[in-house]
Structure 1
């Protein structure tokens, strides 16, 4: 049932769509994610985030002052029981140009990763390699991923807690080989809003059987921690996200970002000190 057709939900859906559109448009503008003439490859997994990203980008495309092309791409990783018909039917129904890329990464992950261990790391690397290669094949100038604000915050804490690095998912990224520009148009959007939007739109969600059952993932632990903080201190996640946009290298401890060794008092300051001492 399409919940958006319920009169009681139409007002809320309209508010959600406007908010998601505004935040997505702001992120695109702030980071110059999409330019005139771009061919944007929207990576569609079958989850709530990528469905929402595609919907909002299509909405923005219709009224944007620039012209850009959208092509949806799904990577069929050959997971057992994967409903292959769902995405093609959905994309045909909404009239979007799309490709289904078939790569048996599932078998590789299951063969390499020991039973009970986290599969996400290897799976994401294989998926990224396949998508990068296909983007080059079809001439895509931008690769759009559906990561949202909460994903970015979770990654920040994962890297701090388990990687010893102060880094996260950037809204815009140049691949290591310099060939691909990866964008995250939903970088400013809350997962809570995306979940509600996906429910109202009744997107045909496809669960990931490869990693969806791994309940003890480090990311899940961090997600729950952030959710508990937000419940206890409403607005805390907003403040944290604002913080990663306001970095002060001189008040951290990375000697490659700031010249601490060369930091000395100025001549004027020394003269004042000498006057005081006299």
Structure 2
């Protein structure tokens, strides 16, 4: 084997591992949080960015392997941004053979009119977009709304709330919408952005840049993302451990009176392993640097049923 052919074979193997890892991690997240059930019609929100393309691509693969039946429909909101290439998504979606719907609504002009120059547009843009998508989900008869947020988005939101809103809060893998009518899911919750960037290059997705929020360089979210990248470069296990902590919460060892009844807390005379020990023992497991979601997410989030076992089998295909 020549050096050139050996390099090509190594690249092929790496690409195959990448695809399998993303499919496995997505299937694990879907299973852990029971995101998709038999008979669901899933609205896959497609923006034209790498994350939503990857989400659609992986869900199409899982649809062919899953032991349950569910339908997919890709939905794009055309916000009428100047220069938006309207033909790209319909052409791509027709080629891959997935049903789709393009919703036309000029939210771009609304955001530009209401948000002062230099201020971040994400909050208003997101609220307008989400309200429209809820309506479209009703009109299309969708039972789940899938968003393309990944592990790094979830961590960044956690730190944004921690640093700037004084809250322990992030975007969960699954939640009912604020109007109480829709189930919102994030199938890529366990997938790293680094892998999604590589996957987009591998699959050659026709990426459409966002000229509204994507051009804003000084967002706090980007500052937090840079912080996380620096930590991951120093030690990947550190970032995975932070992510793991989001699924291993001890309310009695925090300070929220709404989550734990500190007011009426009294000694019971019964020993409790979770009681106060002054300080936790500062010896921690020596995880390998390349931790995976299967290692990092606690079993307490995992539904112990046969459906889970069936769905896990698709991760190995």
After TM superposition, give the deviation of residue 10 of structure 1 in Å.
Answer: 2.5
Q: Does 1:112 align with 2:114?
A: yes
Matching residue of 1:122: 124
Which of residues 214, 218, 221 is equivalent to 1:219? 221
Which of 47, 67, 70 aligns to 1:68? It is 70
List 4+ stretches of structure 1 deviating above 4 A. Answer: none
**Mapping 1:1-278, distance limit 5 Å:** 9-267=11-269
Equivalenced residue count is 264
- Determine helix, strand or coil for the equivalent of 1:26: helix
Q: Which residue does the alignment assign to 2:283?
A: none
TM-superposed CA distance for 1:158, in Å, is 0.3
Consecutive unaligned residues in structure 1, runs of 5 or more: 1-5, 270-278
TM-score by length of 1: 0.93
| CA-atom RMSD in angstroms | 1.1
Question: Which sits farther off after the overlay, 229-238 or 218-227?
Answer: 229-238
What CA distance in whole angstroms lies between the structure 2 residues aligned with 1:177 and 1:113? 25
> 1:125 offset after TM fit, Å?
0.3
Query: 1:44-81, CA deviations, whole angstroms, 9 ceiling, x for partnerless residues?
Result: 00000000000000000001000000000000000000
Q: Deviations over 1:93-121 (max 9, x none)?
A: 01110000001000000000000000000
Judge conservation of contact 1:9–1:200 (CA < 8 Å) in 2.
no
Q: Distance in 1 between matches of 2:52 and 2:21?
A: 17
CA shift, 1:177, in A, is 2.0
Instruction: Provide the secondary structure at the position in 2 that maps to 1:235.
Output: helix
Tell me the SS of whatever aligns to 1:53.
helix
Query: TM-score under structure 2 normalisation?
Result: 0.82
Match of 1:79, SS state, is coil
Gaps of 5+ in 2: 1-7, 272-317
